[in-house]
Amino acid sequence: MRNKKSFKVLITATIVSGVMLVAIIIAGYMIIRQNQQNNVAETARNKLRGVMLSAQQTTKRSVVSKLGFTVHYDNALFSASAHEATAKSNSDTYNANTYKDDELKVSRGYNLVEVGFKKSDPGLSGKSKLANSVIRPYLSVHTSRKRDYFDRSTMPEQYKDTSKYSDLDLMASVKVKQFQENDPNDECKVSDITISGKKFKLVDSTRKSRFSQTEQIIGHRYSYMTVQNGRPYWLEMTVYSAVPENDKAEIESLIASVSFQKPDENLLTRADDADSTPAIKLAAQSSSSSSSKGVDDKDITNIPYEIDDSSLINVVARNQIATVRVGAYRCADVRYTAENGAQLNLTGLCVRGIGSGSIVSSDGYIATNGHVTDIRTAGLFDNGIQDSMVDGYLSFLVRAGYLTQSEANQLLARAESGDGEAASTLLSFINRVPNSNITISNDQSSYIIQTSNDPIRWDANGWVATKTNLMAKKIDSEVETNDRAFNRNSKKTDVAILKADGEFPAVELGDINNLHEGSQITALGFPWIVDKGLDTTNATTVPTATQGQVDGIESDAGGHTLFSMSAKIASGNSGGPAFDDSGRQVGINTYGSGGDNCEDSGSKNNCFGSGLARDIKDLKAMARKNNIRLSSDGELTKLWKDGLEEFSHGQYSRAATYFEKLNSKYPNNYLVSRMLQISQNTADNYVEERSPEPAPSEEYKGDPNDVEAYRAYIKKEAANALGKKPNKPVIIAVIVIGSITGIAFTAGICLIIYFAVRRKPALAPSQSPPQPPFPPQNWPPRY
């Protein structure tokens, strides 16, 4: 009885081990198969990344100061220089070595770094010499070498109480005094703000000049002060009234990207050797003792963005084909009437501009911003005034009582000699004319859409139409054309719809119902900084992708929803699409969020340097208003989506079938032709061989003298390039457990057979096997 019970247990254990063995074999197969599929998918993603992001590169540079800060900028748009104070520099005499360009790749004890726009037109053509003389803003980042900069023992008694005067309060007091001593007419406003999660004090000094017994605002000086790692830092810029509205946002983006690290203590100096004295002592002296000496030197004149793998396919690849560049041209006659009745008639003010957009319906409807299609009237003057119009403009300023003839002549002479401040001041007087006194006539516009990588061109006859650069017409737009910049008090949506003839791949529209702070957002568009827009010398131009998160959701004065995002957008991105993580367009990129929108509460993580997008429902409402049915269900859209799906799974032959058909119906598109070429020349389930020593994917931004940090960087880059490897511990565990289970199962079978044989009763020697009964004699029967 006991043997029977043990035998049953043995059979049960063998069955269980057999089931386990089968399960382990299946699991092992799935793991190996998954690793193979991962390798295939990784190869497909790498190929997609090469196609989608090959031209989405900016020449990023970083200037690393051993005094505790790093300035990041794009060398395609900006140039930089830096000062390193020498041992001869002190509070009475400033002495420094100057470095620029490739010299800045070496980390030094830079006490001053300046970054400014390269001398180039910002993408709007037709400027006069006067307009081109305007000083564009530049960023100055500087610090003090003094070890005990905030030593309160040397300060007046009232400043020794740190509960009443923080280090930032002291810095702000010094800066206000400096501004007021430089120009008593300046008005200073001090506020607390937060930029990229760091606390700053902002001193905004409004610069004014007096002309004809009246004051004229000519610009603002901004000083952003922060204390990081116990060290003081100043980030400063001056913005004149006549500069392009996007210039300030570009510099603010630089400020937002400045990072801080611990300074090299060996470079800090004693009080008597420093190039500055304690903060509050500075406030009691003249501004000539400022630690920012040398800041006013006016001689200062691509890796792929980080996109996660899922977004690369579902968002970028899916929608880049439907992201377009929009070219707009406006020409008008403008009459300005001063309050005293003086008039200025400017005939043929013409200007070209660029923006971005998205094809939102397969039959050729394009979504963009109203301020892209309807160039502002202020832009007409700032960028359209010609040299032949300057004399008439100066005469108007005198007749309007804005300037005396002597003041006008002096400002013009200074501007013609290269004084950018004088040029800015002259052009800013047009802002005195009330918007209600500006009359527009003979207003004409034209539009062109770039659907592939052939750049938009302009010649003497206007826009140059090609097979992929198509003329478009405006269906509707809503924008305040008299606003000089983004106006939260506007009740208009700043949305426009254009129409191009033909069939196109289109984006799929979504909504913001599921968006919240922290939701991922991907922005596509054509920022000017990448290719110089209308002034490009590139043979090809393609969209750029940036990615970030939703920072907040708000409304404008008209009740229209906007959302701020950490995804960076710049001049030229306006009108481009913003996508959620599912690849649906949920917004229209509208502005780079600027410092004018900062709140004193400091509750926002990013004061500026991020993006602002409009809710896509404003576009849907405009489409309904114009009886337009938006649909992305066209054949071309489906072919593109299906081809990408097969491509992403390594089924290149199937993908080639879709891309080939799409190429025949939508020819001359760089994405389609490139994807077709790769698909036709790649075997199904192909896996790329990985290089054991890949080159770094981006420029090293750390201290070149830190060998260990550089080795860690190379190791990290190599790991990233090699990608995720199969999980060896899991595979080994499966093999070991499978082997043990297999052995147990085999042993169980053997034991079962063994015991089964043993359980058969053996015959006794004297016994004979039983015999069948002897058949009867009459068998078989006879008939």
Dump pLDDT digits (tens) for 164-200: 788 898 898 888 888 888 877 778 899 998 887 889 9
Backbone φ and ψ of 421, nearest 5° = -65, -40
283 in Cβ contact with 203 (< 8 Å): no
Q: What is the DSSP letter of 159?
A: G
Three-state secondary structure call for residue 384: helix
**Percent of the chain predicted with pLDDT > 70:** 71
The amino acid that residue 42 corresponds to is E
Task: Give kind and range of the element (H or E) at residue 380.
Answer: helix 377-384
Cα dihedral 107, 113, 119, 124 sign: positive
pLDDT the model gives residue 291 = 34
The amino acid that residue 65 corresponds to is S
On the question of a cis peptide bond just before residue 773, with omega within 30 degrees of 0, the verdict is no
Please say if the pLDDT value at position 153 is more than 90.
Answer: no
766 pairs with which residues across the strands?
A: none
Instruction: Write down the residue that tokens 């506020």 correspond to.
Output: 191
Q: What is the mean pLDDT of residues 392-401?
A: 93
Cα dihedral 609, 615, 621, 623 sign: positive
239 pairs with which residues across the strands?
A: 220
Residue 626 tokens read as 């114009």
Contacts of 192 by beta carbon, 8 Å cutoff, 6+ apart: 199, 200, 201, 202, 600, 602
Please say if the pLDDT value at position 244 is more than 90.
Answer: no
Q: What is the mean pLDDT of residues 151-155?
A: 80
End-to-end CA distance of the chain: 55
How far is Cα 36 from Cα 42, in angstroms, rounded to an integer? 10
pLDDT the model gives residue 280 = 42
Q: Return the number of other C-beta atoms located less than 10 Å from residue 757's C-beta.
A: 8
How far is Cα 395 from Cα 137, in angstroms, rounded to an integer? 29
Longest dimension (CA), the chain: 156
Alpha carbon 565 to chain centroid, angstroms: 10
Minimum mean pLDDT among 26-30, 236-240, 492-496: which range? 26-30
Instruction: Write down the residue that tokens 């008299």 correspond to.
Output: 482
How far is Cα 174 from Cα 621, in angstroms, rounded to an integer? 52
**Percent of the chain predicted with pLDDT > 90:** 35
pLDDT the model gives residue 485 = 62
Instruction: Write down the residue that tokens 């963009």 correspond to.
Output: 368
553 in Cβ contact with 562 (< 8 Å): yes
Q: Pairing state of beta strands 214-228 and 198-211?
A: antiparallel
Work out the pLDDT band at 32, boundaries 50, 70, 90: low
14 in Cβ contact with 752 (< 8 Å): yes
How far is Cα 743 from Cα 167, in angstroms, rounded to an integer? 73
The whole-chain average pLDDT of the chain stands at: 78
Minimum mean pLDDT among 287-301, 473-487, 710-724: which range? 287-301
Strand spans (E) along 229-322: 231-240, 259-260, 303-304
402 in Cβ contact with 210 (< 8 Å): no
Dump pLDDT digits (tens) for 424-441: 888 889 989 998 999 999
336 pairs with which residues across the strands?
A: 344, 438
Q: What is the mean pLDDT of residues 660-680?
A: 93
Q: For helices 635-648 and 2-53, what crossing angle results, to 10°?
A: 130
pLDDT the model gives residue 754 = 63
Q: Pairing state of beta strands 544-555 and 469-478?
A: unpaired
Q: Work out the burial of residue 529: count CB atoms within 10 Å of its CB; fewer than 13 is exposed, 13-18 middle, 19 or more buried.
A: buried
Please say if the pLDDT value at position 723 is more than 50.
Answer: no
Dump pLDDT digits (tens) for 447-458: 999 999 999 999
Nearest Cα to Cα of residue 581 among 655, 512, 648 = 512
pTM for the structure as a whole: 0.72
Number of H helices, E strands in the chain: 19, 27
How far is Cα 559 from Cα 553, in angstroms, rounded to an integer? 12
pLDDT the model gives residue 643 = 94
Dump pLDDT digits (tens) for 513-560: 989 888 999 999 988 777 778 888 888 888 888 888 898 888 888 889
Dump pLDDT digits (tens) for 603-659: 334 455 568 899 999 999 999 999 999 999 999 999 999 999 898 888 899 999 999
Three-state secondary structure call for residue 401: coil
pLDDT the model gives residue 70 = 95
Q: What is the DSSP letter of 147?
A: T
Nearest Cα to Cα of residue 359 among 221, 502, 248 = 502
